Amino acid sequence: CPSSPKQSSSPSEKCGVLNVTKITENGKKVRKSWSSSWAVLQGSSLLFAKGQGGSTSWKFGNQSKPEFTVDLRGGSVEWASKDKSSKKHVIELKTRRGTELLIQSEIDTVINDWYRTLTETVSTHAWE
Ligand code: I3S
């Protein structure tokens, strides 16, 4: 997936540009800070790399380290309630370790795809 600009349809590997912000880290509330990130799902790990959007984003694999990674095993995925963000199409991701992220895209087909893939990933890896 990082070696190709095309999005993979396999649930274990998917990538694309998303807006992301942490809202909680290890159980502690953190200040929201939305940024456009290149997101890569590999197995149950979701990696984000800042500033890798646009046409060169697929170079991520050999170009930069992920800014942060979350482990989806034992986590949850749901559509964020209105009080979490004023933006449209926002998904709330919670990890077992108490990190909460919001991910968002203006493009509803893009975010719906991520929602489907992430819920599949969480249910597939729930008991590992
Ligand atoms: O949940 P909040 O506090 O309304 O989130 C907004 C803020 O993080 C704001 O930044 P500062 O107030 O730190 O400058 C962001 O610009 C907004 O995007 C946040 O709200 P949305 O509803 O866009 O998630």
Q: State in Å: Cα 12 to ligand 1 middle.
A: 31
Contact between 105 and 89 under an 8 Å Cβ cutoff? The reply is yes
Atom of ligand 1 minimally distant from the CA of 86: 22
- Confidence (pLDDT) at 1: 62
**What's the pTM value of the predicted model, to 2 decimals?**
0.84
- Tell me what pLDDT residue 122 has: 94
Please tell me the number of Cα atoms within 13 Å of 31 on its side-chain side.
Answer: 1
* Cα–Cα distance for residue pair 7/127, rounded to 1 Å: 27
Which phi and psi (to 5°) does residue 21 adopt? -145, 145
Position 81 scores a pLDDT of 97
pLDDT of 110 over the 60 cut: yes
| 8-33: average pLDDT | 86
Residue type, 123: S
Mutate to test the pocket of ligand 1, among 29, 32, 89 (most ligand atoms within 8 A of CB): 32
The 10s digit of each residue's pLDDT in 29-81 is 999 999 999 999 999 999 998 754 454 444 544 445 668 899 999 999 999 99
ipTM > 0.90, yes or no: no
The pLDDT value recorded for residue 3 is 47
Q: Report residue 117 as tokens.
A: 């893939």
Query: Which residue's alpha carbon is nearest to atom 6 within ligand 1?
Result: 32
Ligand 1 atom closest to the Cα of residue 104 is: 24
